């Protein structure tokens, strides 16, 4: 269950909790991506997010605004400014800043462009190769003199003809091909990942989180700005559409390493001293904040493992990998179905402790609208059989949403746990494993020992574990097949097909 409860937000020590998640082995299943510790916000950056869900938007607005210094109480009750806040850059400075924050990780010196994902030389050539695209069009409430016009979070490099083609169209309506372009009255940003690097490309989630940022950052309270809002459907006065599409994309395309790095470089005066902006996009750092501000209703999602939906949302499952000998090969990971009930989307965290692995990492995991499921690959670390003993681990799934529709949903959805256990016994197996009498060959005597293990007459915790090549905890047909590959006969060499 999230640290959030109905009506309040616990904001202290966020970075400690953020960094405290132990990553599972990172896979590419679904749209899950890791959160990277080097791009994490400072521990106190969201320290004032302690109010109710109803005030979350205003609290975030203050944190990311230009007049904010994130003061904290110091010794003797004094206020200590930490120096965070929006340092307004000029539109001209974007020519030098964008090649830094949108730099191609695979080709230094190049910039990744919006929508088509092209990698082109980053050096400014008066807009011939790339120019500056406003994700939030300047004709939809920006003008040309306020901090919103030059906000680097919504500016990005773009092919000039593509920039012109997009114009001020609202975002929405996926194209059938997945490529960028016009779909009716809407502009689809494209969802194609770069081959070989899924962290580059797919602009849908990035565009969504820019929209959420702009609608929170700008409320019309600063000179030359208006109150920017998202709207369903087409654009309105100071309103960008389509909010419903942006919500879908936010959960379909979770923050990538490229997007997290961009967020960090815009914030960091250390890693981007010449062009840092000094604030962050909260919806990249904490994508679970989105539904509390822009969602359609309190969150009704429930995550669970197992066959039945628990009333409080908390579920558990045991994965027993049986008995393995020291040095034995690991069994294949097992698939565990994580279910999601309810119509609202949600982000969730996966935490691993002890002896266990899974292919879901950290906090950047999401389910979209409506009920769904995904299969987690749950396994054992590579060094599990290095030493003997009973070994256990736990994978904990935490629904991160801030709102709820009652017990067992959203912020009140109990944690789900997958317990992993394995017994590693200290048997010194011969080489090859099938030579149970250790006479240098694999023959009828060794086969007789295998049969005793198969019948159960020989205790499994003795030499039988050496025959259990698939780690199933029993001697079965697969183990007979492995033995057969080693069988040569008295005085004959062990066949090369034998697994040592």
Q: What is the pLDDT of residue 78?
A: 45
Q: What is the pLDDT of residue 155?
A: 98
| Among 475, 470, 478, CA closest to 459 | 475
pLDDT band at 90, cuts 50/70/90?
Answer: very high
Query: Is-contact 52 9, C-beta < 8 A?
Result: yes
Q: With DSSP H G I counted as helix, E B as strand and the rest as coil, what are the percentages for the chain, rounded to 5?
A: 25, 20, 55
Of 209-213, 319-323, 465-469, 473-477, highest mean pLDDT: 209-213
Show me where the domains of the chain are located. 14-294, 302-425, 427-500
Dump strand ranges (E) for 177-314.
181-183, 186-188, 193-194, 197-201, 229-230, 239-240, 302-305
Q: Is the pLDDT of residue 73 over 50?
A: no
Query: Is-contact 15 42, C-beta < 8 A?
Result: yes
Q: What is the pLDDT of residue 3?
A: 29
**Check: CATH 3.30.450.40 for 302-425?**
no
Contacts of 292 (CB under 8 A, 6+ apart): 53, 56, 401, 402, 403
Average the pLDDT over 160-166 and give the result: 97
Q: What is the pLDDT of residue 243?
A: 97
Q: What is the pLDDT of residue 51?
A: 57
Tell me if residue 155 falls in helix, strand or coil.
strand
| Among 289, 251, 299, 297, CA closest to 408 | 299
Q: Is the pLDDT of residue 29 over 90?
A: no
Q: What is the pLDDT of residue 407?
A: 97
pLDDT band at 434, cuts 50/70/90?
Answer: confident
Of 237-246, 391-400, 477-486, the range with the lowest mean pLDDT is 477-486
- Look up residue 488 and give its DSSP letter: -
Rounded Cα–Cα distance for residues 68 and 65 (Å): 6
Average the pLDDT over 29-38 and give the result: 58
Rounded Cα–Cα distance for residues 238 and 139 (Å): 8
Mean pLDDT computed over every residue of the chain: 85
Q: Give kind and range of the element (H or E) at residue 283.
A: helix 282-285
Average the pLDDT over 145-152 and give the result: 94
Share of the chain above pLDDT 70, in %: 85
Beta bridge partners of 338: 305, 374
| Among 189, 186, 137, 128, CA closest to 161 | 128
Of 3-7, 33-37, 58-62, 250-254, the range with the lowest mean pLDDT is 3-7
CA distances from 11 to 47, 59, 82, 119, 363 (A): 5, 11, 17, 39, 16
Angle of the 56-64 helix axis to the 204-217 helix axis, nearest 10:
90
Of 48-62, 220-234, 468-482, highest mean pLDDT: 220-234
Residue count of the chain, please give it. 500
**466: Cα within 13 Å, side-chain hemisphere:** 21
| Among 235, 219, 99, CA closest to 156 | 99
Angle of the 204-217 helix axis to the 243-252 helix axis, nearest 10:
120
Q: What is the pLDDT of residue 10?
A: 33
């Amino acid at each position: 269950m999230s640290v959030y409860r109905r009506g309040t937000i616990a904001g202290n020590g966020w970075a400690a909790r953020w960094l405290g998640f132990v990553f599972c082995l990172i896979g590419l299943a679904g749209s899950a991506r890791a959160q990277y510790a080097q791009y994490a916000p400072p521990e106190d950056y969201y320290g004032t997010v302690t109010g109710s869900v109803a005030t979350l938007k205003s609290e975030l607005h203050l944190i990311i605004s230009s007049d904010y210094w994130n003061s904290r109480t110091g010794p003797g009750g004094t206020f200590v400014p930490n120096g965070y806040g929006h340092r307004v850059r000029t539109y001209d400075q974007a020519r030098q800043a964008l090649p830094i924050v949108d730099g191609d990780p695979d080709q230094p010196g190049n910039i990744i462009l919006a929508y088509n994902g092209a990698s082109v030389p980053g050096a400014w050539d008066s807009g011939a190769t790339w120019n500056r695209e406003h994700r939030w069009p300047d004709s939809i409430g920006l003008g040309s003199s306020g901090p919103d016009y030059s906000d680097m979070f919504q500016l990005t490099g773009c092919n000039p003809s593509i920039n012109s083609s997009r114009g001020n169209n609202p975002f929405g309506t996926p194209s059938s091909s997945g490529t960028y372009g016009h779909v009716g009255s809407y502009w689809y940003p494209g969802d194609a990942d770069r081959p070989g690097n899924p962290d580059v490309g797919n602009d849908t989630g990035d565009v969504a989180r820019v929209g959420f940022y702009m609608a929170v950052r700008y409320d019309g309270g600063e000179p030359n700005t208006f109150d920017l809002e998202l709207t369903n459907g087409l654009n309105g006065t100071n309103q960008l559409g389509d909010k419903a599409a942006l919500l879908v994309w936010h959960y379909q395309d979770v923050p990538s390493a490229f997007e997290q790095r961009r967020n960090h470089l815009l914030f960091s005066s250390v890693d981007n001293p010449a062009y840092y902006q000094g604030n962050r996009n909260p919806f990249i750092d904490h994508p679970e904040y989105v539904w509390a501000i822009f969602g359609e209703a309190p969150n009704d999602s429930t995550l669970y493992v197992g066959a039945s939906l628990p009333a409080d949302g908390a579920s558990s499952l045991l994965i027993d990998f049986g008995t393995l000998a020291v040095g034995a090969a690991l069994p294949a990971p097992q698939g565990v179905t994580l279910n999601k009930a309810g119509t609202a989307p949600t982000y969730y965290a996966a935490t691993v402790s002890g002896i266990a692995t899974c292919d879901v990492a950290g906090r950047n995991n999401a389910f979209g609208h409506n009920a769904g499921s995904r299969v987690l690959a749950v396994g054992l670390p590579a060094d599990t059989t290095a030493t003997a003993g009973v070994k256990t681990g736990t994978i904990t799934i935490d629904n991160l949403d801030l709102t709820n529709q009652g017990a067992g949903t959203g912020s009140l959805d109990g944690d789900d746990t997958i317990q992993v256990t394995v017994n590693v016994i200290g048997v010194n197996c011969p080489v090859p494993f099938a030579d149970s009498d250790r006479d240098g060959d694999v023959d009828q005597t060794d086969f007789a020992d295998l049969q005793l293990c198969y019948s159960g007459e020989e205790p499994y915790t003795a030499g039988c574990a050496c025959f259990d090549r698939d780690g199933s905890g029993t001697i079965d047909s697969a183990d007979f097949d492995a033995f057969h590959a080693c069988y040569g006969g008295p005085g004959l060499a062990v066949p090369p097909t034998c697994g040592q």
